[in-house]
Amino acid sequence: MVVNVSSPNTPGLRDLQAEGVLRDLLTGVRAELDGVAPGKPLFVKIAPDLADAGIDAAVDAALESRCDGLICTNTTIQRSGLSYDAQWVAERGAGGLSGAPVRARSTAVLARVARRLRAGGHDAMPLIGVGGIDSAEAAWEKIGHGASLVQVYTGLIMRGPWLVRTIVEGLRERLDRCGLASIQAAVGREL
């Protein structure tokens, strides 16, 4: 089960990422889940627009409420670095931006989460990296920055279903090049 408190498309949803609110929410969900589906993994999905303190607080809330992992990240409300005319972009309205424009920020958030977990001795906690993965290189980047699983959404739409094969083959090549036996050995190497 994933608690998604990070979509910019639902008014007020991201307010649930506030420290105490998130801890209470996750603790409540964990308790319910333990009752109806013991052992079911619980993840929390966070926004790329959180400030550093907010990221740290989300990690701490996830740990305190015995979450099994975090998903980094949802779409962004930022509109920087786009090649489109700013006016045209503004006219498209509010909402989350996905794909290539969110890739670097998502990876930065992922890395901060992974470092905080590592510092607290929780580096076995799985992280799902998502945001702008449209190639093996982009998936490798997430893995190197702490993801033990990756999710593709926009990349799948832009590149088509063969993207998955391309990523798998590219990851295998990179493992061979680095002399690593498994993806697990590559997780967090860039931190």
Ligand X SMILES: Cc1cc2nc3c(=O)[nH]c(=O)nc-3n(C[C@H](O)[C@H](O)[C@H](O)COP(=O)(O)O)c2cc1C
Q: What are 130's two structure tokens?
A: 């998502």
The binding site for ligand X (CB under 6 A) comprises 4, 7, 45, 74-75, 98-99, 102, 130-133, 152-155
Closest approach of Cβ 133 to ligand X, in Å? 5
3-state class of 21 per DSSP?
Answer: helix
Amino acid of residue 20: G
Residue 95 or residue 120: which is nearer to ligand X going by CB?
95
Q: What are 51's two structure tokens?
A: 């400030």
Closest approach of Cβ 166 to ligand X, in Å? 15
Residue 94 or residue 124: which is nearer to ligand X going by CB?
94
Phi and psi (nearest 5°) for 7? -75, 130
Let me know if 7 is a catalytic residue: yes
Residue 98 or residue 107: which is nearer to ligand X going by CB?
98
What's the sign of the alpha-carbon dihedral 166, 114, 60, 103?
negative
Quote helix, strand, coil % in the chain, to nearest 5.
50, 10, 40
Closest approach of Cβ 84 to ligand X, in Å? 17
Tell me which H or E stretch contains 45: strand 43-46
Assess contact for 146 and 128: CB atoms under 8 A: no
The residue behind tokens 């700013």 is 86
Closest approach of Cβ 27 to ligand X, in Å? 20
Residue 27 or residue 135: which is nearer to ligand X going by CB?
135
Q: Which of 6, 7, 98, 135 is catalytic?
A: 7
Residues annotated as catalytic are 7
